[in-house]
Structure 1
Amino acid sequence: MTGWKAKRFWKDATVAEGPGGWHVLLDSRPVRTPAKAPMDLPTEAMARAVAEEWAAQEVDIDPRAMPVTRSANSAIDRVHPQHDEVAAMLAAYAETDLLCHRAESPEALARRQAEGWDPLLDWAAEVFGARLWATAGILPVAQPEASLARLHDVVRQTDAFRLAALHDLVTLSGSLVLGLAVSHGRLEPAEAWGLSRIDEDWQIEQWGEDEEASEAAARKLEQFLHADRFWKLASQG
């Protein structure tokens, strides 16, 4: 027995501005989220991206081909109702940020980490007043409480749509600093992804590539690039 699939029922997907923001209309019917909430979008650019995804559906509706729609649904149904909890979870990454944990050896790897990561820690200290300290070895380093508080404020002030994007930028890279560097325009997403992969790329150079691990990394990179796109769509007028 085959599973039921939702079918295309509309002719045109258009956008319109109304109460609460921008809306996507399937003919005259506004799109709603899986939780039946109004899909009130923050920008015309995001609304048009969502409309393009709906317009591209043919007979069966394939949610996998609708990444912007999925992210918008997540922002409305999941992030908005628990905004402060999501913000606190992401801010906590600063306590053990990837960029702060360095290899003791070999020297070449430690040097590569320092060259790639130190400028970003300096950037966070300058832009946010949040100095984080690096350490070598397996023992964690206690980060300054004032720095953690400032970073928490930065994240908490992010609206639900951009917080949904920041969630993926941070969790996929393992670094709040990298996520903020991408969202604030300090780094291009591909460069940030490469910096998050210094340890893995070093291992590949030493021992060769594992096909399964490479495929998983490629999927994560695609998600990372989408998160950057979603942030930008949420920020465009």
Structure 2
Amino acid sequence: MKRFYKSVTLEKEPGGYGVFLDGRPVKTPLRKILLLPYEGLAAKVAAEWDAQKETINIHDMRITQLSYTYADKAEDEKDGIIAELLPYIETELICYPVPHPADLQKKQQKLWQPLMQEFTAKTGITLKTVTEITGAANGADEMAAFEAVLRKEDGITLTAVQAAVPLLGSAVLGYALAKKWITPAAAHEAALVEELYQAENWGDDEEAAKKRAELLVNLEAVDAFTAV
């Protein structure tokens, strides 16, 4: 899409902060006027629109896309969002450390154990860890507890969790990133510890490296989205 506007402005409106293109409000895919609860977040959206050149590249406007999701889904589709996230608790990534090789297991323990401890301390949820994949490590009780935690979160945090959990393949890592218990780089390393170990020991793949770089950019966007 060609850039169709000259000016980008930020204005305080009833119900939040809006972004305006040549005086017209930015609207979501569902045609709602985009209103955000924090001026700092709206400023980041405005900056993305202002940074576009002759052609608008919506793929690179990650904070804008997260803001659209917040406006269109965080409240109206809250039940559905939570339902999508709960299965990640059943097969939580960091509940399955490898039994061997020993050095990889040690790396996983070093990265994962502090995160699991913090998750338990701050949510009250204790997840079971197994060393062999024999089915789901955690079940209905843990999922219900995580649901209760998610229902207490505001729309911004829930939107961040919805984005981060599938990216990382982990409810614990995604929630920790959204709550700022962990940096994007640390979440990236924890989620990909086995892949990074293999690349270090047996050589990397150019396409895999490209995907890892893209993942980090997306995680940084989630972090920026919640930095309000």
TM-score, length basis structure 2:
0.91
Across the aligned residues of Structure 1 and Structure 2, the Cα RMSD in angstroms comes to 1.9
Q: Is the 8 Å Cα contact of residues 130 and 137 (structure 2) preserved in structure 1?
A: no
Distance, in Å, in 2 between the alignment partners of 1:179 and 1:95 is 14
Q: Which residue of 1 aligns with 2:57?
A: 62
Q: Which residue of 2 aligns with 1:83?
A: 78
Q: Which residue of 2 aligns with 1:30?
A: 25
Amino acid at match of 2:4: R
Size of the alignment, in residue pairs?
228
Q: Does 1:48 align with 2:43?
A: yes
Amino acid at match of 1:151: F
Distance, in Å, in 1 between the alignment partners of 2:140 and 2:129 is 15
Q: Which residue of 1 aligns with 2:132?
A: 137
Q: Which residue of 1 aligns with 2:3?
A: 7
Q: Which residue of 1 aligns with 2:104?
A: 109
Shift of 1:105: 1.4
Distance, in Å, in 1 between the alignment partners of 2:193 and 2:181 is 18
Amino acid at match of 2:207: E
2:17 is paired with a residue of what secondary structure? Answer: strand
Identity of paired residues, percent?
Answer: 33
Distance, in Å, in 2 between the alignment partners of 1:66 and 1:206 is 35
Shift of 1:63: 1.6
Change in CA separation of 1:185 and 1:78 when aligned onto 2, cut-off 3 Å:
closer
TM-score, length basis structure 1:
0.88
Q: Which residue of 1 aligns with 2:217?
A: 222
Amino acid at match of 1:30: P
Q: Is the 8 Å Cα contact of residues 177 and 187 (structure 2) preserved in structure 1?
A: yes
Change in CA separation of 1:209 and 1:60 when aligned onto 2, cut-off 3 Å:
closer
Deviations 1:89-130, CA, capped at 9 Å, x for gaps = 213211111000121211222222122212221212211110
Shift of 1:45: 0.6
Q: Is the 8 Å Cα contact of residues 162 and 230 (structure 1) preserved in structure 2?
A: no
Shift of 1:213: 1.0
Q: Which residue of 2 aligns with 1:187?
A: 182
Could you tell me which runs of 5 or more consecutive residues in structure 2 were left unpaired when the two chains were aligned.
Answer: none
Q: Decide which moves more: 38-47 or 160-169.
A: 160-169
Deviations 1:185-220, CA, capped at 9 Å, x for gaps = 321121121111111112112211011111111111
